[in-house]
Amino acid sequence: MKESRVRTSEIPILEHEELAKGARPVVRSPWQNAFRHFFRHRLAVFGLVVLILIGLSVAIGPLLIRTDPNRIVFSQMNKPPSLQHPMGTDELGRDQLVRILYGGRTTLMVGLACIMVSVTLGVTLGSIAGYSGGMIDNGIMRLVDVFYSLPSLFVVIILMTLIGPGFWTIVISISILRWMTTSRLVRACFLSLKEREFVTASHALGMSNTGIVLRHLLPNSIGPVIVSATLNIAGAILTESTLSFLGLGFQPPQATWGRMLLEATKAVIQYGQWWRVFFPGLMLFLTILSINFIGDGLRDALDPAGMTSHRN
């Protein structure tokens, strides 16, 4: 009987008539289950929709509106939102909408690049620590402790002044302070997984260590990694924007949302040009909010044990 392999909670309740007609219970794979869980989480779906909209508009927007984000038009300085400039213009007459679209590209790219770097780093170190154990494990975990105890924002700022702002320097400075959670999670998953029967069986069948890690251990610990990576994107985007806002990230005339907010500070406090602050900040806020919603939905779907619930 196929049903015996399915956990009782997952067996759909079928009416007697249906059973009599020969209907069979649906058996779903873990991924299908996760998928259903995620889409039942209303806020996560909302986040996903908003994020896709933002992503599409920064990807396609600049192709449709062919205005240079740095085009200076003195006759259009400091204009509030209008049909011609839906989000107003800044003190050099640059169109805010176009700058927001281009800035969004940079900001989102930084976020994505950061998780790629930090997940790679975290997963690699975490798997080495978890699989090898002993001295190596100890060493890597102390390294994690050291990085956790760094006052992160200060260190990023100092790194910025040392190596100078540029796309990859920003990405790397942010990422090297964000890999620790991932590597702790991977290590924890590995520690429990490597004692399981199927791993012992693989050993007995002569599978190589690399093979076991890549084929069995990593795929089975992917859930918490995805959750923490998602929440990390939000953190990375926030850090980049903070850096840019403090004038230490991307330099002018490069537009990023944080940088636009920095340039708008005086305009809003002294002249009350609310559109200068409202729109870039709103985009940033919506992006981070939707990523957090998605992360929460993914946690429900992929991490039922709640490994990622703390320190994120």
Partner 1 sequence: MLQMTPGGPLAVSENIGSGRITPEQLEHLRANYGLDQPLYIRYINWFKNFIRGDWGTSFNTGRPVLKMILERLPTTLLLTGLAYLVMLILSFPVGIISSVRQYSLLDYVLTSLAFIGISIPSFWFGLLLLYFFSFKTGWLPAFGLTDVSQAYTGIAHLWDMARHLLMPVSVLALIDTAAVTRYIRASMLEIVHQDYVRTARAKGLSERAIILKHVLRNATIPIVTVLTLRIPDLFLGTVVIETIFALPGMGNLFIMSADLRDYPVLMGILVIAALLVILSNLLADVLYAALDPRIRIG
Residues that bind partner 1 (CB under 8 A): 43, 149-155, 157-158, 160-164, 234, 238, 241-242, 245-248, 258, 261, 264-265, 268-270, 272, 274, 277-278, 281-282, 284-285, 288-289, 292-293, 296, 309
Q: C-beta of 49: minimal distance to partner 1 in Å?
A: 16
Q: Closest CB to partner 1 among 53 and 158?
A: 158
Helix ranges restricted to H, the chain:
16-20, 30-40, 42-64, 96-132, 134-148, 152-163, 167-175, 180-193, 197-204, 209-212, 218-220, 222-245, 257-270, 274-302
In contact, 58 and 112? CB cutoff 8 Å: no
Q: Closest CB to partner 1 among 74 and 154?
A: 154
In contact, 69 and 105? CB cutoff 8 Å: no
In contact, 303 and 224? CB cutoff 8 Å: yes
Q: C-beta of 135: minimal distance to partner 1 in Å?
A: 22
Tokens of 237: 């985007």
Query: Any idea which residue has 């990085």 for tokens?
Result: 147
User: In whole angstroms, what is the distance from residue 289 CA to residue 11 CA?
Assistant: 35
Q: Closest CB to partner 1 among 62 and 281?
A: 281
Q: C-beta of 3: minimal distance to partner 1 in Å?
A: 30
3-state secondary structure of 241: helix
Q: Closest CB to partner 1 among 160 and 301?
A: 160
Q: C-beta of 258: minimal distance to partner 1 in Å?
A: 8
HSE of 99, CA atoms in CB hemisphere, 13 A? 33
Beta-carbon contacts of residue 164 (< 8 Å; ≥ 6 apart): none
In contact, 87 and 101? CB cutoff 8 Å: no
Q: C-beta of 213: minimal distance to partner 1 in Å?
A: 32
Q: Closest CB to partner 1 among 260 and 302?
A: 260
Q: Closest CB to partner 1 among 11 and 146?
A: 146
Q: C-beta of 285: minimal distance to partner 1 in Å?
A: 5
Comparing C-alpha atoms, which of 307, 34, 48, 44 is closest to residue 182?
Answer: 307
Q: Closest CB to partner 1 among 36 and 42?
A: 42
- Cα 294 to chain center, whole Å? 9
* Integer CA distances (angstroms), 84 to 187, 264, 272, in order: 54, 20, 21
Q: C-beta of 229: minimal distance to partner 1 in Å?
A: 17
Comparing C-alpha atoms, which of 66, 59, 90 is closest to residue 76?
Answer: 90
Q: C-beta of 111: minimal distance to partner 1 in Å?
A: 13
Q: C-beta of 79: minimal distance to partner 1 in Å?
A: 18
Q: Closest CB to partner 1 among 130 and 297?
A: 297
Q: Closest CB to partner 1 among 164 and 253?
A: 164
